[in-house]
Amino acid sequence: MENLETSMRDIVKNLLNEQKVDLVIGYQKGTMPLRTTPCFVTKAEDSNKLVWNFCCDLNLIKYLLKDENKGKKVGLIVKGCDARALAVCISESQIEREKVIIIGMPCLGMLDRKKIEAEVAPKEILEARVTQDQIITKGKDFEHTLLKKDYIQPSCQACHYNNPPICNILVGNQPLELESAVDWDAKLAEFEAKPPEERWAYFTELLSGCIKCYACRNACPLCYCKECFVDQTQPQWVGKTTDIADVMFYHIVRALHVAGRCVGCGACTRACPMNIDLRLLSKKLEKIVKERYNFEAGLKTDEPPPMGTHTANDPQEFITEPE
């Protein structure tokens, strides 16, 4: 990883020196262990601030969509999932392909910080070191060694795109071999086999902690609407309270809005301050879209998502023949 970090910094330095980009967005060391924070580099000499490690979990595509970066030529550090989210944004005309230099990082999965922290809570991790296969955490009166493979984020465990499907420069020039992934089909099948009341109860319980801070929406690279439906007041589509009906309505509509577009990067789950994980819902939608339209989001920049297009050949038997 250090080699990748050095190569990445060199690439960024050159891009800025040669004025091929105005800005590079990547990661820098965070203020706490196991964290990184977005890094905005405009001067070649600041390239050394950039880091690449197992905590570079943020999806930085969101920053390309911000007003202050509109029109700029931006170099962006991306993982496979980020590149896919970017591809969706490009296919939906939200980002101009030629305005971005995609600096792709081969990725073996990022660490699940919340899971690691929960392991030692209420004690606090003051120092953490990640080796080839271990995570060594230290606190005031403890030292824990954890096996890295047990603390990879769930979204990464299910990922098939360790190399960015689209990019201008692949750092390290060495595509990674794919690792075996979690079998989401089996998980979904198990859930689907449950009676509707049980499935409803699962989501009700899961969402009962939602405080409606909208961090999931704001972290999602594909939630880029200028005005979100929850913020519309004329008409007001959704109740604003944290009653379960209002919470559920928000999450279901958001799920439908990202159906066939969600790339499963996990930004929503990571951003949630209440540790709510809605991946079962997003994975189910992903599966439906794959089955119905043979479509997987974020692999091409010139193919609009199925829900954004209509053709006469669209499968539609499910409209009149519910399961």
Partner 1 sequence: MKEKILLKAQLPKLIEELRKIYRVLAPVKDNGFYVYKAISSADEVDLDFANTKIPPKEIFFPRSEVLFTYKRTDNGIELIEPENSVEKQVILGIRGCDAQSFLLLDKFFAYGKFDDPYFAQRRKNTLLIGLACNDPRSTCFCTSVGGSPFSEAGMDIILTDLGDKYLVKSLNVKGNELLERIPWIEDANERDIFDAMQLTKKALAAIKEELPIEKLNNTFAEVFDEDAFWLQFSQKCIGCGSCSFLCPTCHCFDVVDEESSTGGKRIRLWDTCQFPLFTLHGSGHNPRPTGRQRLRQRVMHKFNYYPKILSEIGCVGCGRCILACSVNQDIRVVFKAVQES
C-alpha–C-alpha distance, residues 41 and 25, integer Å: 6
Nearer to partner 1, 273 or 322 (CB): 273
The C-alpha atoms of residue 196 and residue 217 are separated, in whole angstroms, by: 27
Which H or E run contains 145? strand 143-147
Binding of partner 1 by 50 (CB under 8 A): no
DSSP state of 180: P
Q: Tell whether omega for the bond before 164 is within 30 degrees of 0, i.e. cis.
A: no
Is 204 a binding residue for partner 1 by CB under 8 A? The answer is no
Nearest to partner 1 of 56, 166 (CB atom): 56
For the CB of residue 162, give the shortest distance to partner 1 in the complex, in Å. 23
Do 111 and 128 contact (CB within 8 A), yes or no? no
Amino acid of residue 227:
E
- Give the per-residue contact string, 254-283, with partner 1 (x = CB under 8 A; - = no): ----------------xx-xxx--------
Q: Which x/- pattern, by CB under 8 A, does the window 54-83 give for partner 1?
A: ----x---xx--xxx---------------
Draw the binding track, 174-193, toward partner 1 (x: CB under 8 A; -: no contact): --------------------
Q: How far is the CB of 165 from partner 1 (least distance, A)?
A: 24
What DSSP character marks residue 176? P
In the chain the first and final C-alpha atoms are separated, in Å, by 48
Residues 221-240 that bind partner 1 (CB under 8 A): 231, 236, 239-240
CB of 167 to partner 1, least distance (A): 23
* Main-chain phi, psi angles of 242, to 5 degrees: -100, 20
Which of 219, 265, 278, 281 forms a contact with partner 1 (CB under 8 A)? 219
**Helices 279-293 and 184-192: crossing angle, nearest 10°?**
100
Query: What number of other Cβ atoms are within 10 A of residue 214's Cβ?
Result: 17
- Contact between 38 and partner 1 by CB under 8 A: the answer reads yes
Q: How many residues lie near partner 1 (CB under 8 A)?
A: 42
Q: Smallest gap, in angstroms, from Cβ of residue 281 to partner 1? A: 17
Sheet holding 134-138, edge to edge: 127-130, 134-138, 143-147
Tokens 């196991």 belong to which residue?
A: 34
Kindly tell me which of 231 and 303 has the beta carbon lying closer to partner 1.
231
Give whichever of 119 and 303 is closer to partner 1, judged by the CB atom.
119
Residue in 104, 57, 55 with CA at minimum distance from that of residue 76: 104
Q: Which amino acid is at 109?
A: G
Smaller CB separation from partner 1, 68 or 321: 68
Paired with 76 in beta bridges are 25, 102
CA separation for the pair 244, 204 (Å, rounded): 7
* 274 contacts: CB under 8 Å, gap ≥ 6: 209, 210, 211
Distances (CA, A) of 289 to 262, 296, 313, 317: 11, 8, 15, 14
Nearer of residues 31 and 93 to partner 1, judged by Cβ: 31
121 forms part of the interface with partner 1 (CB under 8 A) = yes
Shortest gap between Cβ of 222 and partner 1 (angstroms)?
13
Pick the piece of the chain touching partner 1 (CB under 8 A) from 7-15, 116-124, 187-195, 304-312. 116-124
Q: Is 202 in the site for partner 1 (CB under 8 A)?
A: no
The correct pick among 7, 36, 47, 153 for binding partner 1 (CB under 8 A) is 36
Residues that bind partner 1 (CB under 8 A): 30-32, 35-38, 40, 58, 62-63, 66-68, 114, 118, 121-122, 124, 126, 140, 209, 211-215, 217-219, 231, 236, 239-243, 270-271, 273-275
